[in-house]
Amino acid sequence: MEIRKHRLIKIKTAFKEIEYANGERILEELEFADKVMRRLGCKVIDVTKRAIEDTALIIMETIGYDFDNK
């Protein structure tokens, strides 16, 4: 939520008046995303404290990228 508030402050918008930074709204979005990903059978990757390169490697391995035959 703090990231969203910071974004709104940067664009000089009053975050208290906008749903974008509302805690309940954020939880609703997360729950919706979770339902969609479960229904589709998506692999969820926790990117917390993970470099983008590490995340990319996990994705490439998951989709079966052939590192030997680039």
| Alpha helices in the chain, H assignment, sequence order | 2-10, 23-40, 52-62
Q: How many CB atoms lie within 10 A of CB 8?
A: 17
Q: How confident is the model at residue 12 (pLDDT cuts 50, 70, 90)?
A: low
Q: Is 21 exposed, middle or buried (0-12, 13-18, 19+ CB in 10 A)?
A: buried
Inform me whether the pLDDT recorded for 42 exceeds 60: yes
User: And the tokens for 21?
Assistant: 């930074």
In this prediction, residue 51 carries a pLDDT of 96
Does the predicted TM-score (pTM) go above 0.85?
A: no
In this prediction, residue 14 carries a pLDDT of 56
